[in-house]
């Protein structure tokens, strides 16, 4: 499972849906008007990188980073983004996101990110391990790619 509709999420799902996703689930279940939507779950990134055979390459790039030299973070981010954007999204992910999008029956959507390792009860984002921080950067690259998929779907449906 790579997606979950808001109405099936709650505050206990922060680890799989991020803080924003879990909060949207809580708001929906409380009857507060929230436009219909879904969350792309955290495991999607790992499945994507494993299936696209990117995990080792991403780890190798991340190990070249010197967090005291910001330009190395920028270079790593650019390389990871290029790897992700030049990879095909696995069919099972694309199919599930497409299905979830089509159930919304709308032409326009808002795409937001919500890392599962952001500020929490036991930690603050600023205190996270450097590798986790860089993994967050890579996750946001996947979110950007997902945004492109959704934009292409909308373009295809309007043609």
Q: What is the mean pLDDT of residues 12-39?
A: 90
Integer CA distances (angstroms), 111 to 64, 105, 114, 121, 138, in order: 30, 16, 10, 25, 17
Please tell me the predicted confidence (pLDDT) of residue 92: 92
Q: What stretch of H or E contains 3?
A: strand 3-5
Give tens-digit pLDDT for 101-147. Answer: 888 887 777 777 665 555 444 444 443 334 444 444 455 555 665 66
What domains appear along the chain, each with residue ranges and CATH number? 3-158 (3.30.1490.20)
pLDDT band at 29 (very low <50, low <70, confident <90, very high): very high
Please tell me the predicted confidence (pLDDT) of residue 150: 59
Q: What are the φ/ψ torsions at residue 38 (nearest 5 degrees)?
A: -145, 165
Closest to 58 (Cα-Cα) out of 82, 74, 40, 42: 82
Please tell me the predicted confidence (pLDDT) of residue 151: 58
């Amino acid at each position: 499972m790579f997606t979950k509709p808001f109405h099936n999420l709650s505050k206990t799902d922060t680890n799989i849906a991020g803080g924003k996703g879990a909060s949207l689930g809580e708001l929906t279940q409380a009857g507060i008007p929230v436009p219909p939507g879904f969350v792309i779950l955290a495991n999607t990134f790992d499945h994507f990188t494993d299936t696209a055979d990117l995990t080792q390459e991403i780890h190798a790039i991340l190990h070249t980073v010197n967090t005291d030299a910001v330009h190395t973070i920028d270079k790593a981010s650019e390389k990871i983004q290029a790897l992700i954007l030049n990879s095909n999204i696995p069919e099972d992910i694309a199919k599930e996101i497409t299905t979830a999008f089509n159930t919304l029956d709308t032409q326009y959507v808002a795409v937001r990110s919500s890392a599962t390792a952001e500020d929490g009860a036991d930690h603050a984002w600023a205190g996270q391990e450097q590798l986790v921080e860089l993994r967050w950067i890579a996750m946001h690259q996947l979110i950007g790619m997902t945004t492109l998929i959704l934009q292409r779907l909308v373009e295809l449906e309007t043609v």
